[in-house]
Every structure is written in C-alpha cells, then in structure tokens.
Structure 1
C-alpha cells in the first residue's frame, strides 16, 4: 500500500514549476544555470522559515530544464518570484536582457522590457513582523531606557528637569549648526560685496 507521504512527495515533485518568465535553457551556460539552481536550493529553506519550521518537503531545481520545486514543511509553496536570488528571479533578469537585445536600437522598447517586467520583490510581505500599539509616553520611556544614541540635532529636553547637562550638550550641537549657517551666509555676502567693489 502506498503511503500518504510518498504520494504527497510524488505530487510535490511533479509540481516542480518553471520560472514565471520562459527562456531557452540552452541560451544560458550550464555553469550559470547550476549557480542559479544553487541559489534556488539555498533560498527555499530560508523563505520557508518565515512561515514554518523544519526542512522543506521539496527543495529541488533542475538546471537542464530550469524547473524547480519548493514545498515548505507545512505543505505550502511560496511564490518564489517575490524574492531575489531565486530561479524565477534569475530567469526574469535574463529574460529582460534578451528582451533588450531583441529591441535593437529602439530605446522605448528596451525601457519597456525592464519597467513593465520588474524582477524580484516589488512590495514584499513582512510575514514575521510584529505590531504593537503603545502610548507615546511608554514608547519614549522604552527608547530612552534602551540606551538611545542621540545625534545632537533634537532639542533633547526631557521635560522633567533631569539630564540638563545632556540636554544642553544636544542643544549645543544644533546651535553650532545654526552658527555655521549664519557664518557661511555672511562669508558669501562679504565675498560678493568685495567682488562688486573690486569691479567698480
């Protein structure tokens, strides 16, 4: 009797898909196709880790036919065209190169090849991103406690009367920039005036 897992693996392997854009595999050197497949097999487990744990059920890539399979341990197949350094990405980039070559000297055609057919992530989904809602005072407290690095451009006042030395130091940085701006304007004005007087 054939087990469910064996059947599933066979179906997963049969579901190996070609890249979204088609190119003749023979138009790319075998060494380059092998490098593309290496990238595909390297990135499949990393992409799967965004939604699940464990090794992928299928992580295959055939450099002869430029087909691949990536089935995560939860049975889902990520859309590999949404990522860079995957087989669909490499094929899409090469498709764009070939499209530009076919356009010859037609610049509008060549621009369309790239602009209307972007490769890789355009607006990637943030699967592992967490969102929290906190009050402004709690956020200010947590960032101050986290050892925030100050750049000296804010006013730096905490509003509680503490850390006056730190606030003064931060204000000093902004003050120096304002002084530099004024001094620079005065120098330019003096130079223009001296040039005008010398011209007369």
Structure 2
C-alpha cells in the first residue's frame, strides 16, 4: 500500500524536474539517466556564470529519481527549462518521444507532440546582453561598412551590397563557376 508521504515525495520530485513534463524514471535506462545528470551538472555552472561569480552553491542531480538542484552563488535559481542539455530538457524530449509513440499512426497527434511542446532554448533570458540606450535614425538605417561580416547578410537587404561580406564572393562564384569548370575541362581534354 502506498502511503501519503511517499506520494507527496514523488509529486515533489516531479515538480522539481519540471512543472509541465514528467516521465517515470524507470522507463529510461539508468545509464541514460546518469548521462542526463552529467549534462545537468556540467550545465549548471555555465548558466550560473551569467549572473554570478564562483561555483554554484548547489549543483546536484539524482539519476534514480530524476531530480536536480542548481543554486548559483548569488542565491538565484536559474530557470533550467530555458536551456538545452539540462535535466528538464532531457525529460521534455523523452516526454515528447513517449507522446509521439502514444499517438500511434495519427500524424496530427504526433506533430502536435513536438510543435506544441518544444523543449529547451526557445527564447532564453539574455542576462549579459549589452544594449545601446540611444540610437539615431541614421544609424538604424545605414548599411554597416566596418566591423565583422558573417558572410550571410542580415536578411533585410541584398547581402551582395555589404562591403566585406563573403556573400559577394559567393555571387561571383555562382556567376563565373560554370565558365571556370568548362575552361578546366577544355584544357584537360587538350592535354590528352
């Protein structure tokens, strides 16, 4: 017979992992749960470094019950559901896999399992983001001419127009690539 204390402890453990997703730990192989806990213990200090200095006050994970604790040195507890490679992330993905399996051949149900229940970093809080307080209208509409170009453009303008952009080289390659290949083939045939 299950007693009240055991039931309360089991519910508390489920709430500790994630308020939205719960899986029976016994349905996941122990070696997998241990790997999840290793990820959790590795991720906690990285997340804590965003707001505090030093090692977390609490950084623990129990593979048997799938519960964890992460308390930063500034006494803040990060929302681990906003990150990947955390225990809540792994539990969420396992929940999604079980949901898809329970749907059987119903594709709409399977799609809803993943689309309506995304796991991990959807829009995490950016703690260390630096923002400029004021920006002139001319600065907002100008095309950058200095700095680092990633070569992919920003999606709002023709990326070939960005000085220093690698996209210009790609466009040149597209335009003249066939001519270079044809010339190489012709030269190769002439040598035969």
Q: Same fold (TM over 0.5)?
A: yes
Q: Is contact 1:19-1:66 (8 Å) kept?
A: no
Q: CA deviation digits over 1:121-166, x for unaligned, max 9?
A: 11122111101245557xx8x963x57799993386xxxxxxxxxx
Match of 2:116 in 1: 116
What residue in structure 1 maps to residue 38 of structure 2? 38
CA root-mean-square deviation: 3.5
Q: CA 1:155–1:85 in 2, change beyond 3 Å: closer, same or farther?
A: closer
Listed as ranges, the gaps of 5+ residues in structure 1 are 1-13, 157-169, 182-200
SS at match of 1:60: strand
Structure with higher Rg: it is 1
TM-score normalised to the size of structure 2? 0.65
Change in 2 beyond 3 A, CA 1:149/1:52:
closer
Q: Hey, what does 1:107 align to over in structure 2?
A: 107
Per the alignment, residue 60 of structure 2 pairs with 60
What is the SS of the residue equivalent to 1:123? coil
Q: Counterpart of 2:18?
A: 19
SS in 1 for 2:161: coil
Counterparts in 2 of 1:131 and 1:30: CA distance versus 1, 3 Å: same
Note the residue ranges of structure 2 that are not aligned, 5 or more in a row. Answer: 1-12, 154-158, 177-192
Q: Which runs of 4+ in 1 moved over 6 A?
A: 147-152
**Is residue 2:95 matched to residue 1:88?**
no
TM-score (norm 1): 0.62
Match of 1:126 in 2: 126
